[in-house]
Amino acid sequence: MQEFSYSFDNKRYHTLNYFYKTKFHQKVFKVSLNAGFTCPNYKNHSGCIFCSHQSGDFAGKKEDDLKTQFEKVKTQMEQKWPNSLYIGYFQVASNTYAPLETLKEKYETILEIPNVVGLSIATRSDCFSDEIYDYLEELNQKTFLTVELGLQSIHEKTLQFINRGHTLENFETCVKELQKRKIPVVVHIINGLPYETKEMMIETVQYLNQLGIDGIKIHMLHILKDTPLAQIYEQEKFPILTKEEYIDIVCEQLGYLNPEIVIHRITGDPNPIDLIEPKWLLKKFCVLNDIDKEMKKRNYVQGCSLK
């Protein structure tokens, strides 16, 4: 049986819980925030076809100021994890898409809160300027900063189909600018995008592994109500991955990732009210458990296919 060093709970991949506890020596959780930002792709090109423009179902309410949001979410989370440290997670929309002074005010409002040890900023690779890069470099000296970048796929045909609004070249340039400044990068990808093969999804992970990212979030495609993707699905009924197919692909993807890359997520949390397909996503813990079982059955650990 293979052993894996980056987990406290018998997972065969590098868990976020292990990473935080090793770094901070106690429980850390992310407090999801809605800072009221928008997205340049939605503003200029109607957005990605899968997006409901309501990302962050578990974030604070944008009607509340950031400190109020933080306290409400923190209070809920502390029922499960008391006496923890916190990371302010700017989750909703593109959280570098604003003037620099606006970004400073919002980020530093959260850093003033006791026991906040870092920020995680979700955004897009086309939402940066030199002054924003430089400011994030300064911020990275003061706190534990992570930038989360949506990519979804490396395949240009797919990026055009989903109306992503930026190229792979733009994404890679952004990652390298952040890496030059020693800012950790977490990348979001989506499995099951229309007409992608298993091989294409594995190629996306192999590319990211070579790029030297710090973390990854793996999602299954959600078909949500009132999105362009829902309309396309109604017309074309393109194939959707079964749970078994998704688990197979995730296990293979984990095999191609350097063990030091932190796995922030390997399935999603769709809002059941909005979800059209796949319904199996609603049983999140069944999916997680089945990934664990399949990894054990194959005697896989993260990075095993790199040897």
Q: What are the residue boundaries of the structural domains of the chain, listed by start? A: 16-299
Question: pLDDT band for position 1 (50/70/90)?
Answer: very low
Topology annotation, domain 16-299: TIM Barrel (3.20.20)
Question: pLDDT band for position 56 (50/70/90)?
Answer: low
User: What does the mean pLDDT of the chain come to?
Assistant: 93
Spatial distance between the Cα atoms of 52 and 275, rounded to a whole number of angstroms: 11
Backbone φ and ψ for 120, nearest 5 degrees, come out as -125, 125
Break the chain down into helix, strand, coil percent, rounded to 5. 40, 15, 40
Checking if the pLDDT of 14 tops 60, the result is yes
pTM: 0.95
Spatial distance between the Cα atoms of 177 and 147, rounded to a whole number of angstroms: 12
Checking if the pLDDT of 2 tops 60, the result is no
What's the average model confidence in pLDDT over 73-92? 91
What are 211-231's pLDDT values in tens digits? 999 999 999 999 999 999 999
Low-confidence winner among 8-22, 49-63, 154-168, 248-262 (lowest mean pLDDT) = 49-63
Which residues on neighbouring strands pair with residue 277, listed in sequence order?
Answer: 223
